[in-house]
Amino acid sequence: MDTVDTIEHKEYTINIIQDSFPENPRKDFEPMATIVCVHSRYNLGDREDCDTDTIKEIANDKDNLVLPLYLYDHSGITISTKPFSCRWDSGQVGIIYISYSDIEKNKITEKQAIEIMNGEVETYDNYLTGNVYGYEVIDKNDKDIDSCWGYYGNYNTSGLVDDAKSIIDCDIESCTNALNKIFTGNKTNANQY
């Protein structure tokens, strides 16, 4: 586990670490959309039984809302619903789709369904590119206070840093309340007496 960043907060240390064993969001989560891909070297998406004819059939089915999926393969892979600019190392690899019956069943609009599909592809891309992190909170005595894993995307904007700081704030509050009880004869707040 490699620490990618360290943040100091109120005399605590937050170690941000790349998640070595992230969950596959296509298999371990409950995605609303379905990803189908065909590639000679990679097993991508939700279904392994697809070929180009199956993908064309799904894409042409008027009962499905479909977005194309593009893959860029150069020193690692990345996936997107928008094409990449490199014509040699990228191209369409499949599709992501939601059936209109699922859109109706979930009471969402077509625009919301497109946002969901783009979000699912972004999360899957973070998984494929190793952009998944966790944190460890260490107090000033080098005691492990908490850790949590599975933050997909930029750790500054994924909620990871905020969550770690909240753990620190809770630990400080818990310690303060415990000391308050000790020094005030188990009264809940010394200031109220």
Q: Dump pLDDT digits (tens) for 56-75.
A: 999 999 999 999 999 999 88
What is this structure's pTM? 0.85
Beta bridge partners of 91: 71
- Mean pLDDT value across residues 154-168: 94
Q: Dump pLDDT digits (tens) for 2-32.
A: 899 999 999 999 999 999 999 999 999 999 9
Q: Dump pLDDT digits (tens) for 80-109.
A: 999 988 888 888 999 999 999 999 999 999
Identify residue 105 by its one-letter amino acid code. Answer: K
The DSSP annotation for 78-134 comes to EEESS--S-TTTEEEEEEEEEEHHHHHHTT--HHHHHHHHHHHHHHHHHHHHT-EEE
| Residue 66, burial from CB neighbour count under 10 angstroms (0-12, 13-18, 19+) | middle
C-alpha 81/C-alpha 70 separation (Å) is: 6
Question: Domain ranges in the chain?
Answer: 3-21+132-192, 34-110
Structure token digits, residue 131: 């952009």
Instruction: Tell me, rounded to whole angstroms, the distance of Cα 146 from its chain centroid.
Output: 20
